[in-house]
Each structure stands twice: as structure tokens, then as C-alpha cells.
Structure 1
Amino acid sequence: MKKRVLVFPCGSVPGIDINFALRDCLRIELFGGSSVADHGSFVYKNYIGDIPNINEECFIERFNQIIEYYKINFIIPTHDTVALFLMENQTLLNAIVVCSEVETTRICRHKALIYETFKGYDFNPIVYNNINTIDTYPVFLKPNMGQGGRNSYVAHDFEELNFYMHRSKDLIICEYLPGDEITIDCFTDKNSKLRYFSPRIRQQTFNGISSKSHILEKDEELLNIVRQINDKLSFRGYWFIQLKKDTNGNFKLLEISTRVAGTACLSRNLDVNFPYLAVLDFSNEEIDITPNNYSIEIDRTLISRYKIGIEYDRVYIDFDDTLVFNNSMYNKFMFMFIYQCLNNNKEIILITKHEKDIYMTLQELKIDKNIFKEIIHITNNDYKYKYLSQEKPCIFIDNSYVERKHVRENLDIPSFDLNNIECLIDWRG
């Protein structure tokens, strides 16, 4: 029987990455849920909207109703505050929260508790509890419960420090760390054994998430830090830490989190699937972690996903310079769309002015003719709109503007060029 997993909230970067980590796992049926309309509805086939905010009095009751209705077995929280709330209320919930134990999650949510817990450890940064004791500037200020570097400041002197401290009452004052910043993704099993750690450099960040990163070599200094943290706290499943080098080149602790990191997909692409491993571990199954051994880096940019207000059961599609370029190169994106259509039982009709025998060309290019419900081969001086039937709702795809214009003007059928096929791709899974 498949394990039913609810990712909540599902529209964040970690939530989207978890979708791609779990959507094709044969043993999992994936659900995404959010309290506000977000990007999750564009990628989760099983999307649950309008979940109450965790601060609402009705949350537990309503959340349990959702859990029972969809028969959810496991909940994966993607935000630190949500993770802590769910762990604090685990006994009231009718599904297992995939997260470290509650006291560890509480400590990791508050930087003041983190630094107090690791007071005296070499990797713990200097924390100033009294502004009058600061004798070295600059200093770094960050919120006790923040994440991703938001609302953090560098104060170069007492006047700047005083300004920021009056601006926010929840700031922690730490030594300034000018060196490289890294994240270490970790996995600890049900027996509290550290099974995996993977350091990566945070070369660029966008909204607190690494937008450019690559895997680093593991060394004894990093392993020693991870082991000490793992021995001190009670982790289970995925977790991560962030470190930054001080003026002497030594790594100091920035934060710890018990959720999946925003760029843990780097490890997933080494075949270390943290969300899936965690679900197996919380199912009390034995896990094995044997990553690939190759260099890998990530560079993120914004990606666009669309919802389009048309329904269609048939697709008319051109061949030359649409499906195939120069009779030799496949349009990968177009084939992605074609197989999406076949998955959804939509007819594909090839309509072409190909100069050669189209069946022979398909055979030479190893394209199965049975992909197409029908193949319409017309002469070069003819117009395609004449051969389109409207007995079923349909769309038309062709790189020729003239052909698209004729189809729109004569038949009022939605017509697409290659550059706007992306709005037809369904990313939900």
C-alpha cells in the first residue's frame, strides 16, 4: 500500500523540490497543502488549498479532518515555525510529522537557544549579550527566529548598532564572520546515527535560498562539527546547518534547521533523496545511502509555470521545424508535450507539408508513427486550416505564423508557436 504524504506548506522552494523528490516514487502518493494560494497548485496534482493558518483556533480540528479525508500517513513541514508547531502538537494529530523530536526542533527554531546549547564549543560564534562589552566592530545582527538572512544587518560602529537595536527588539548580536558561507545537508536515522553529510558552498543567494551552489569535499573539520551537533541534539531524518568562516578562517555556526534545505536537491541529484529516505526511516524501515561520485553544481533562476483557460482533446501539430529541426534534431520540449498529451488520452494529429515521404522520414528518425492518431500530408501550396476538424475541442501548433493566422481567423482555434508551448506544459505530479 502506498504511503500518503502531505507536504505543508507546499508552495515554497523546499516544497517544490520535495514534489520533484517524491512525485515518481512508486511507494508514495503525494499531496501538497497550503494556507494561502501559492505555487504549489502549479506542481502538485493532489493540491489542497485553504488549509487554516497554524495560528487559527480551528487549525488542529480542520487539519485532522483533512488528514482523515485524504488518509494521510505522513506530514512533511517545509517551514521552521510550522515544523515546531506540528511537533508540539504531534499527539493531537492523526498522522506522523516527519521531523526531529520537539525539543531539538524548538532549539533549532531559536538562534539564542542554539548558541546557548553550544556555548563553549569551538565552532560557536561570539555572542554579545551586552552592547557595552563590544570592543570589536563590525558586528552582525540577526533575528532570533529569522531564516535566510532576512532582516539581518552589519553594524560598523556603536551608532549603527544602536540604530538597528532600536529598530528591532529581537536581534542577536554576534561576531562578524567575513569568510565563505556553506550549508551542510545531513541525515540521521531512527537510531540517532549520522548516516550522511554533504557540504556545499553558497555562492549566490536569492531570497535566502542558494541560487548558485556546488558540492564541496568533505573534510575532518566539517565532519567533526556535524558529529558534535548530532551527538548533542536528537535529530531524525534530514536536517542542515549553515557555517561561515571567521577572520582566522575557522568555521562558525550560523544556524541549524530540522527541515529540508532549499538546495538539498543537489544531494538528491547524487541519488540521496532526503524526503524519501525520511519517510522510509519514519516507517521504521532500514535505509541505505550510496551516493554517486561526481561533481555537480546548481544555478537557479525564476521558472514560469502556467494555468491556461482552454480545454482540448486533440492536438494538430506540424512536423518540419516544429517536431524536428533540419530533419536531424528533435525538439525535446515538444516531445515532452506530446507524451503529456498521450498520458492524458489526447489525440495527436500530424499535419505536414514535408517534402519527402513522411512515413519514411519518421522511420529514419525513429519516431513511431503510432504516436499519431492520423497523419495528414498536404502539398506545399495548400493551407492547413482546411484539413482541421472541429468535431472535438482542439489546438494547433506550427512554427509558421501564416498557418497559425489562418487557423485563428478561419476556425477560431487556439494556435501556438514553439516559443509559447511552455504554457501548455502541466508540471503537476
Structure 2
Amino acid sequence: MNKVRILVFPSGSEIGLEIAAALGHSVHVELHGASSRSDHGALAFSRHARVPNIAAPDFDASFSRLLAQWRIDLVFATHDSVQEYLAPRITGWNSRLVNGDPDASRTARRKSATYALFDDKAWMPRRYAAHGCIDTWPVAVKPDRDQGGKGFRLVHAPAELATALATTDEPVVCEYLPGEEATVDCFTDRHGRLLHVGPRSRERVAGGVAMCSRRMAADAELRDIAGDINQRLRLCGPWFFQVKRDLHGQWKLLELSCRLSSSSALQRAAGVNLPLMAVQDHMGRDLDVLDDPRVSRVERRLATTAVLEHDFDTACFDLDDTLLCDGIANPSAMRLAYRLRQLRKRLVLLTRHPRDPLPALAAAHIPATLFDQIVHLRQGEPKSAHVPASSIFIDNHFPERMEVAGNRGVPVFDVDALDLLFP
């Protein structure tokens, strides 16, 4: 099967990591990442490269060379400025940008351009050219080109407004929208059909990212806004818009974007994998949407990955209270064991289990064949005697870890560290 070669750039953003999760298990995809700085993308993508920032004079040459080297078919841009920059250039580099129409990308990048395009729609917020014509306070001042609420200022009086205008880059002055806020994840296929309209709440926000999102009904008002946007912009792939209710409860547009949103994992959890739909659409397949309404909410948090600077070929596991907890397989230990097996590491089981360990493994539904070697230690026999120098050692018991670390000098880990290793 010929796979679609995908490049995600920048790869270490929340959006890039969501695309990696959405596409990482697809049999149709060969996944690559690139970033302009050191970030988590290098851990999330097995094929990864550093490229200059889009503002650097050598970016075009470096990026086009990388596309050719990896023979990239499709690029996911994960930042609005990157989307706008790549859109008019990407076809000249023999690749394609997801939702990469230059006019749509340019319009979506600027609130002023977006508002001008849809000025005749009832769902547009009121804008003010100057503070002299403002008849209702407070008003909102925000940068024309920022996103996710960055640079937002709530202004209550003319003097405050003058300061906000002087200190905001390319300011846009709008009516203040005090009601609930929603993000609406959408998908348009290559035929221009709007296949998915998925509103969700932004109940807890950190750094512009919704850490708690709840699915909402796609009411007629939101569907009309999505339809109007889809009609006037040339869209193809995932995109989203953000709205808030005004004083009268009517939805008004905040901004829109021609890329995937950072919390679209809620749609994926319900069966609507927007990045994979973009890949399938690129392959020329007509799509249907299978959306499970019983998935209602996602909760997000910071995730931590530890980088181990130690070359090893073997992982040695303890059994009781490490692989097994109260006779049941420990999910964290099992995830790590299978991940290490995927990385072609040898697995060794070192146990002082009071009886034959094989029935205990079988009772916990752990196959003995998972291990290259099972060592049932004699009374007083040190585990370090069976730990190779090119290994890591995992055991819940501190004296055992101390003995192995002292005699073999290999990295040793307690069970609390397992979820940090080898994502």
C-alpha cells in the first residue's frame, strides 16, 4: 500500500501533538514532523527535523529541500502565521497544504479581513473605527493578527481606549460579547461539502487552550454561520471558528482559522478524526461521518515525558508489585513492556515470587512469551547477577533498586516513573 507522506509543522505545538495522535496509528500514513525550535515534537515523531523560522531568509530553501528529501505529499500547518506563509508557496515546492487556499488563509489570519468579508451577516460583532462613535461600553480591543484571545483588552472608557489603541498591534475595536463562548470544529471535503459541524464549550482555558471541552448541540444558528463561512471561503479539510453570545444571547463571531483546533481531540474521541479525514479526502475518497453523541467531554492536562540518555538493549522487570499489583496486571508496566518490545528491546523477568511465576502470569493474562528470559531467583540471590550492563531495571522495591544500581550502574526505575518513559 502506498502511504501518504505527511509533514506536521510546527510539530511540537498542542495541535501538532494532536495530529500525531490522530494519525500515528493509521496504515495510510507515513508521519514526519519539523520544528524551528527544540520542543516535544522530536519525541512525538520518529522522523523529525529542525528547520529555520518562517521569518528567516533561508527558510524557503531549507523547507523545500526537506519536502523533496522526504517526498512529502501533504503538510499540516499548526499555526495561523505558518498556514498563511505556506499557502501561496507550497504548490511550487511540489507538495500540498491541508486547507491551503491562499485567499482563505490570508482572510482567516486577519480579523479585519474576516469581518469585512462577512460584514453583511447578522452574526458579525459591531466594530468601531474610532472611540468617538462608541455608544455602548465596555468594548473589546484585540490585535488584528493574534489568535486564541491573545492581546485581548476589555476597555470601559475613552481614556482606557486611547491607551489600548496605542499599545495594541494593529488594534481592532469590537462590541464586548459577555455570553458563553464556543469553538466549532468543522470539516469541508474536496467537493466543497460541509461534512461536520461540531460545537464545543471552552469551560476551562489555559494559555488560549481549552483544557475542558464539552460537546454542544449544533443549533440552526451555528450551522448557518458554518454554512455561510463555507460558502464564501474556499475550504478543504479541518477548520474552525469561535463565537460568543452577545447581550441578547445571539452568537457572534470572534475569529476563524483554516487549521485544526488544539482541542479537536473531543471530535476524535467521538469518532470524527478530522486529520485522518483530511488524509482520506486527499486520497480521493468520499467520506461519511460516524459521530457518537455519547462521548460528551474531554479533560486535558500537561503531560510529561522523560528523556533517558542511556543506550540499552534489555529491560529487566520485577514481577510482584511491579508487573503485578494484587495479582492484576499493572497497566503502566504493561504499556511500557509492549512499547519496549516495539522498540526491539529484550525483556527479562527477574522475580522472587514464592511459587512458580508462570501460573501467576497466566492468571493476570500476561503471556510468558512476552519475555525473552524468566529468572526465578533463589533465596538470597542478587538480581544484579542477571542484569546486563546495557539494560534498565524496573522494580518497586527500593533495596533491590539500590543493589542493582550499586553493582551494575544501570538506570533503575520505580513504578511511579513508568508513565514518563518512552511515549
Q: Are 1:60 and 1:93, in contact at CA under 8 Å, matched by a contact in 2? A: no
1:402 matched to 2:403:
no
Q: Indicate if the aligned counterparts of 1:383 and 1:403 stay in contact, CA closer than 8 A.
A: no
- Provide the secondary structure at the position in 1 that maps to 2:203: strand
Matches within 5 A, 1:354-393: 354-379=353-378, 381-390=379-388, 393=390
Q: Provide the rounded CA distance (Å) in 1 between the counterparts of 2:245 and 2:95.
A: 40
Instruction: Return the alpha-carbon distance in structure 1 between the equivalents of residues 414 and 384 of structure 2.
Output: 19
- Tell me the residue number matched to 2:415: 418
One-letter amino acid matched to 1:426: F
Q: Is the 8 A contact 2:316 2:387 kept in 1?
A: no
1:167-316 mapped onto 2 (5 Å cutoff): 167-316=167-316
* Most deviating of 411-420 and 68-77: 411-420
Shift of residue 100 of structure 1? 4.1
Match of 2:358, as an amino acid? Y
Residue 66 of structure 1 is matched in structure 2 by: 66
- Residue by residue over 1:76-95, the C-alpha shift from the partner in whole angstroms, topping out at 9 and shown as x without a partner, is 11111111111121342221
Alpha carbons of structure 1 residues 288 and 311: separation in structure 2 relative to 1, 3 Å: same
- 1:168 alignment partner AA: T
Q: CA offsets, 1:362-387, max 9 Å, x none?
A: 222222111112222224x5243353
Report what 2:331 is aligned to.
Answer: 332
1:135–1:275 Cα change, 3 Å = same
One-letter code aligned to 1:266: L
What residue ranges of structure 1 are gaps of 5+ in the alignment? none
Which residue is 2:123 aligned to? 123
Q: Distance in 1 between matches of 2:315 and 2:57?
A: 49
Amino acid of the structure 2 residue aligned with 1:190: R
Q: Deviations over 1:163-196 (max 9, x none)?
A: 1111124111100001100000001111111111
SS at structure 2 position matched to 1:200: strand
* Residues 301-330 of structure 1, C-alpha deviations (whole Å, 9 max, x = no match): 111012111111112211111011111x22
Compare 34-43 and 180-189 and name the one that shifted more: 34-43
Aligned residue runs from structure 1 range 24-173, under 5 A: 24-49=25-50, 51-173=51-173
Deviates further, 356-365 or 252-261: 356-365
Give the CA deviation at 1:282. 2.7
Residue type of the alignment partner of 1:330: A
Describe the shift of the 1:389–1:89 C-alpha distance in structure 2 as closer, same or farther (beyond 3 A). closer
Contact 1:32–1:48 (CA<8 Å) still a contact in 2?
A: yes
Question: What SS is found at the alignment partner of 1:31?
Answer: strand
Secondary structure of the structure 1 residue equivalent to 2:187: strand
TM-score under structure 2 length normalisation: 0.96
Instruction: State the alpha-carbon separation in 2 of the partners of residues 203 and 398 from structure 1.
Output: 40
Instruction: Provide the C-alpha distance between the structure 2 equivalents of 1:54 and 1:298, rounded to a whole number of angstroms.
Output: 33
d(CA) in 2 for partners of 1:91, 1:403: 59
Q: Secondary structure at the match of 1:187?
A: strand
Give the 3-state SS of the residue equivalent to 2:124 in structure 1: coil
State the distance in 2 between where 1:137 and 1:407 align: 69
**What CA distance in whole angstroms lies between the structure 1 residues aligned with 2:344 and 2:166?**
62
Sequence identity (%): 32
Q: Which AA in structure 1 matches 2:372? A: K
CA displacement at 1:119 relative to structure 2? 0.9
Gaps of 5+ in 2: none
Within 2, Cα distance between the matches of 1:338 and 1:42?
Answer: 18
- Cα distance in 1 for residues equivalent to 2:373 and 2:63: 49
TM-score, length of structure 1 as denominator length: 0.95
Further displaced range: 89-98 or 130-139: 89-98
